Amino acid sequence: MIETIASADLAVNEKLCIQKRRIQNGNSTRRLSFVTGTHGDELEGQYLAYMLGKYIDDNIDMLDGIVDIYPALNPMGIDSITRGIPMFDLDMNRIFPGTRHGTMMEVICSSIVDDLSGSDVCIDVHSSNIFLKELPQIRMSVPTSEILLPYAEHLNVDFIWVHESATVLESTLAHTLNTRGTKTLVVEMGVGMRITREYCEQLFDGLVNLMVYMGIWKGEAPQVRKPVTSVNREVGFVNSGAAGIFVPSANFGDEVKKGDYIGDVLDPLTSAVVERVEAVCDGMIFTLREYPVVYGGSLIARILEPVKEGKAE
C-alpha cells in the first residue's frame, strides 16, 4: 500500500508529496521503517529500497510484521540533483523535528516525524557526499549507544562510529526520533551521486538479518560480519595542506602505519607534487576522498586507530 504521509502545495498547481510504501503480513504489528533520500545527492539508499521491497514481495509469507519504506524524504532534491531542498537552499536534516504550524518544510518534517514515531526500529540511510567515500558504517552518539548497539551489530556494516555527544546535531531526523524513543540508526555508506552495488548488497543482508533479530522475518538469517567499533579508539583525520589535485595511492579499507604514503596533491600547471599525503596514525582507512580537487584543509581520509593498550574492546 502506497501512502502520502506529507504534502504541500507548490506554486503552479503542483504538489510536493512524501510517500511511503507499507508492506504488512501476519499478525505481528512490530514495525521496521527504512528511510532515505533526505539528501538529494545521496542515492545508494534508492537501490537498497528497491532491493528490500522486492525481496519482501517475493517472499511475503516470511514476513510477520510491518516494513515501511520511505525512499525519498526530499524528492525535489533527488529530481534536481541537489543535496538540500532546492528552492530554499536548506539542508533538510537540519530542520527536524519541524513544527505543525511553521513554514512549509517545517510542517513536512513534523509530519515525517509523526509517521515514523512508534516504529520498533528505523534505519536512516545516507551516502556521504560527492567528495568522500565511506566504508559501510553506522554512526551514533554515546548516550544512545547502549540502546542502539545491539541493533547496529546485526546490520552487516564494517564499522560503528560512536560519537562524543558534543558533536551531535540536534536538528537531525535520527536525533529527533531517538529522543522520542524510536530507535533510529544512521547508516553512511558509499559516495554521493553513485550506487555502489556491493555496499547495497552488504547492507541488504544486514537488513534481512535485522528483521530476523526483530522477530518479523521467518526466513534464515544471512551470515553477517562483526563490525569494529570506535569505542576506546581514536579517529585520525588526514587533511590536505595545499590546494591542488589529489591522486590517491592507498585503497579504501587499507590498514596503514603512521607516515605511510596515501597519495599526492599535484599542481597540473607546474607539474609539481605540492604535497605528499601521509597517514597521521596507524589504523584502517574508512573514509577516502573521491573528488580530486582539494584546498588547504580539505578532508582526504579518516583512519580508525587500533584499540589503545590496556583498554578492552
Contact positions toward Zn ion, by CB under 5 A? Answer: 39, 42, 126
In the chain, count H helices and then E strands: 6, 17
CB 217 within 8 A of CB 154: no
Nearer to Zn ion, 39 or 302 (CB): 39
Query: Is the bond into 97 cis (omega within 30 degrees of 0)?
Result: yes
Supply the Cα-derived Rg of the chain in whole angstroms: 20
Residue 127 or 209: the one with the smaller Cβ distance to Zn ion is: 127
Residue keyed to cell 565511506: 134
- Whether 65 and 218 have beta carbons less than 8 Å apart is answered as no
Helix (H, G, I), strand (E, B) or coil at 265: strand
Q: Which residue is nearest to Zn ion (CB)?
A: 126
- Residues 116 and 42: their CA atoms lie apart, in Å, by 20
Asked if 156 contacts 205 with a C-beta cutoff of 8 angstroms, the reply is yes
Of 93 and 209, the one with the shorter C-beta distance to Zn ion is: 93
Rounded distance, CA 276 to CA 228, Å?
A: 29
| CA 172/CA 124 separation, integer angstroms | 11
Question: Least distance (Å) from Zn ion to the CB of residue 69?
Answer: 17
Does an H or E element contain 22, and which?
Answer: strand 15-25
* Cell 520511505 -> residue: 70
Is residue 302 packed enough to be buried (19+ CB in 10 Å), middle (13-18) or exposed (0-12)? buried
Closest approach of Cβ 174 to Zn ion, in Å?
11
Nearest approach in angstroms of CB 258 to Zn ion is: 31
Give the Å distances, CA to CA, from 85 to 102, 104, 114, 198. Answer: 16, 11, 20, 29
Query: Between 80 and 249, whose beta carbon lies closer to Zn ion?
Result: 80
Min dist CB 189 to Zn ion, Å, is 11
As measured in angstroms, the least distance from the Cβ of 42 to Zn ion is: 5
Q: Give strand pairing partners of 245.
A: 266, 293
Q: How far is the CB of 80 from Zn ion (least distance, A)?
A: 16
Nearer to Zn ion, 94 or 257 (CB): 94
Nearer CB in complex with Zn ion: 126/183: 126
Least distance from C-beta 118 to Zn ion, angstroms? 23
Q: Which is nearer to Zn ion, 193 or 221 (CB)?
A: 193
